Amino acid sequence: MINNKKVTVVLPAYNAAKTLEKTIGEIPFDIVDDIILCDDNSTDNTVELAKKLNIKHIISHQVNRGYGGNQKSLYDKAIAIESDIVIMLHPDYQYTPKLITSMVSIISQDLYPVVFGSRILGGGALKGGMPLYKYIANRFLTSIQNLLLGQKLLNTIQAIEPIL
């Protein structure tokens, strides 16, 4: 909890067993109250490992619902447990959970209602394992979006969102 606001980390997981423990190990539990993992019908032992790591809330899809379906399940559960600030963190460890404290602080002090992090801007996308074709497509589509909207929007990969 921070500034009397309940902080929940949501993990959209698909075959995350190799990196889940490392990701969980860097979460700042001094401010994080709950973790919710939604496994989207992985073929590895993500769910078993999540139980071993004592993740309190585990959702297990019996069929793969895709990234959007995974997020919907996570946010529904975050609302159900009355979270004030929800942090989406991918358990593939392509960016560090160490930034959670700074990002949550910004939201909890009502400076901004939403904070986005970008592995593109941090230079970690390709180093973290993002396929080159996805990186190029992401950069291209964001450039087109910026041109059409007349804005400088960033390639956002991770988001921290308050539940309204």
Q: So what's the pLDDT on residue 80? A: 97
Q: Tokens in use for 164?
A: 């309204």
Integer CA distances (angstroms), 39 to 16, 17, 56, 75, in order: 9, 10, 13, 14
Q: How far is CA 115 from the centre of its chain?
A: 12
Burial class (CB in 10 A: 0-12, 13-18, 19+), 130: middle
pLDDT in tens, 36-59: 999 999 999 999 999 999 999 999
Residue 157's pLDDT band (cuts 50, 70, 90): very low
Q: So what's the pLDDT on residue 106? A: 93
Q: Quote the CA–CA distance of 96 and 27 in Å, as a whole number.
A: 9
DSSP 134: H
Q: Quote the CA–CA distance of 104 and 10 in Å, as a whole number.
A: 14
pLDDT in tens, 101-150: 999 999 999 988 888 776 666 666 777 667 788 888 888 888 888 788 88
pLDDT in tens, 57-78: 999 999 999 989 999 999 999 9
Residue 32 has pLDDT above 70, yes or no: yes
Instruction: Kindly report the CATH number that applies to the domain delimited by 7-118+155-162.
Output: 3.90.550.10
Residue 10: phi, psi to the nearest 5?
-110, 135
Residue 86's pLDDT band (cuts 50, 70, 90): very high
Residue 10 has pLDDT above 90, yes or no: yes
Q: So what's the pLDDT on residue 144? A: 87
* CA nearest to 10, candidates 52, 59, 51: 59
Residue 27 has pLDDT above 70, yes or no: yes
Integer CA distances (angstroms), 6 to 14, 127, 162, in order: 26, 33, 10
Q: Name the residue with tokens 């929940």.
A: 8
Q: Contact, 38 vs 61, CB < 8 A? A: yes
Q: Which residue has the higher pLDDT, 116 or 30?
A: 30
Give the start-to-end residue ranges of the domains of the chain: 7-118+155-162
Q: So what's the pLDDT on residue 156? A: 42
- Please name the helix (run of DSSP H) or strand (run of DSSP E) that holds residue 159, with its range, or none: strand 158-162
Global pTM value: 0.79
Q: Name the residue with tokens 């949550």.
A: 104
One-letter amino acid of 68: G
Q: Tokens in use for 34?
A: 């709950």
